[in-house]
Structure 1
Amino acid sequence: MKGRLEFTHDDRRRIYDCVKRRGETNREEVRTQLGIDPRGFRHHVAILRGDGHIETDGEKLRVSIDDGVRDEFGSDRLEFDIRLAGREDRSGILGAIRRVTDEADCVVAESVTAEIVFRDALLWTNELELRVFFVATVQGEVVGWAHIDASNVDKRDHVAELTVGVLEEYRDHGIGSRLLSCSLEWAADNGYEKVYSSVPSSNEDARSFLEQRGWRVEAVREDHYKLADEYLDEVMMAYEL
């Protein structure tokens, strides 16, 4: 990912970092958390918006998708972008997850789609949880995602859960590796110590993908999933940051 942005005022940096960490969040929640007076907060948000660092939507704030959160990659075969997802990516992410889960057993990813549909939102944060997405796009179309589900509960705020997937026709171009790297970098930058992923034992491709990149099997829960009347183990994999 791109290097840290420089700001001329510390409160602007704090506002930007808070919004980037949360994904999309309420103005007043950010202001209250940072303890900035209302007038000063409005002033700093106006400057951040004018400089193109953040976007506003009513009472919502989010980091501009083109501001320090986009990386371009490519080869002779394919060019793609990796960036923090925005609200406009909702349908693309849902479509990508559904296609990937149709091809392989991805139980956690299926539950993510249910959450997005139920809440009618892509990114959210509250006193208990924080969820953000990174997307991989080719010519503006979502071809892969990484989803981070992080806890705000004190006893679990050092760990985060990850799901990652790429459409079959776009694999073997390094997209999955880049999504994984960006997600781990985000988690490390935001103070998480460990990231984990739960994989059905039948999904050997997913397990191999993670193992080749330094993840380890932390535990196995026998017969944890029941798919098409078949009991499958849950393989819990972890990466220490």
Structure 2
Amino acid sequence: MQFSDDLEFDHRDRKDIYDYIERNGRVDYDEARAALNMDETAFGHHVAILRREGVIERDEAEDELRLAFEDAEVEIHSVGDVEFTIRQAHEDDLDGLVEAIRTALADRTYIVGETVADTVDHEDVLLRHNEVQSRVFFVATVEGAVVGWVNLDHPEVDSLEHTAELTVGVVPEYRGHTIGSELMERAYGWARDNGYEKLYNSVPATNERGMEWLEDHGWETEAVRERHYRIGDEYVDEVMMAVWP
């Protein structure tokens, strides 16, 4: 599923370059050119145009190409005997991220989060940055393993350009170490830097702990949709929440 089909590329080679980077994440410049079987001059020309249009970036030091949406900052935190890293997810985090989301949400109290895991698992792509959708993940890792995430998903619609849907979670083993709070703060900062004024989220009314945690981080309830979810044999209200970071 390549949303770049909706981008207005005026040359097939530029679309192929974009698709390759979107599918593989950060890619070596020469390896990408070879994989796409493009002439060196033509490849450089198309890359230069994509960079000028703000679609991709080139890391000159590492000679890598990446989506322009990428954030390279890495944070290291230590709480008690746990040291964890907060950074933007890379495409090679996909399997570990999906596993972490499903582990964190095994009790089925966060339906939107479950949907995120199913979507990226099906599409086999983490980052999106095109005219249809923008999607970014930040992950928390301990000794290289993904133990938490925060996701911002933004449909490219003019009337909603100031908003993004957020999901966040931490696997049970690592809760209580401020990992979720650090992920949320990273998401707030990234949202402000990229012009998102409002973040929204929805949780089943049975997830009282989740709602309290969000309220502690500045979220407010906007509306309730009655009997919106069916969890097992029970109909459960959806609580729609938001924050202006």
TM-score (norm 2): 0.76
Checking the alignment, whether the CA contact within 8 Å between 2:127 and 2:136 is kept in structure 1 is yes
Equivalent residue, structure 2, for 1:16: none
Q: 1:124 to 1:35 in 2, by over 3 A?
A: closer
Checking the alignment, whether the CA contact within 8 Å between 2:139 and 2:183 is kept in structure 1 is yes
Question: 1:55 aligned to 49, 64, 68, which one?
Answer: 64
Question: 1:114 aligned to 114, 118, 127, which one?
Answer: 118
Residue 62 (structure 1) shift: 4.3
Matched positions, count: 206
For the residues of structure 1 that align with 2:129 and 2:214, how far apart are their CA atoms?
Answer: 27
Checking the alignment, whether the CA contact within 8 Å between 2:150 and 2:169 is kept in structure 1 is yes
SS at match of 1:94: helix
**What pairs with 1:2-81 in structure 2 (closer than 5 Å)?**
24=25, 31-32=49-50, 34-35=52-53, 45=58, 48-49=59-60, 51-52=61-62, 55-56=64-65, 61-62=66-67, 68-81=72-85
Checking the alignment, whether the CA contact within 8 Å between 1:25 and 1:125 is kept in structure 2 is no
Equivalent residue, structure 2, for 1:91: 95
Question: 2:198 aligned to 194, 197, 212, which one?
Answer: 194
Q: 1:203 to 1:31 in 2, by over 3 A?
A: farther
Q: 1:55 to 1:195 in 2, by over 3 A?
A: same
Checking the alignment, whether the CA contact within 8 Å between 1:104 and 1:203 is kept in structure 2 is no
**What pairs with 1:196-235 in structure 2 (closer than 5 Å)?**
196-235=200-239
What percent identity do the matched residue pairs reach? 42
For the residues of structure 2 that align with 1:114 and 1:97, how far apart are their CA atoms?
Answer: 10
Residue-by-residue CA offset, 1:163-194 (whole Å, 9 max, x unaligned): 00001110110000000010111111000110
Q: 1:155 to 1:76 in 2, by over 3 A?
A: same
TM-score (norm 1): 0.77
Checking the alignment, whether the CA contact within 8 Å between 2:94 and 2:121 is kept in structure 1 is no
Equivalent residue, structure 2, for 1:101: 105
SS at match of 2:106: helix
Structure 2: give runs of 5+ residues left out of the alignment.
Answer: 1-21, 28-42
Q: CA RMSD in A?
A: 2.9
Question: 1:137 aligned to 137, 141, 148, which one?
Answer: 141
Equivalent residue, structure 2, for 1:176: 180
Residue-by-residue CA offset, 1:104-135 (whole Å, 9 max, x unaligned): 41101111112112211111233221111000
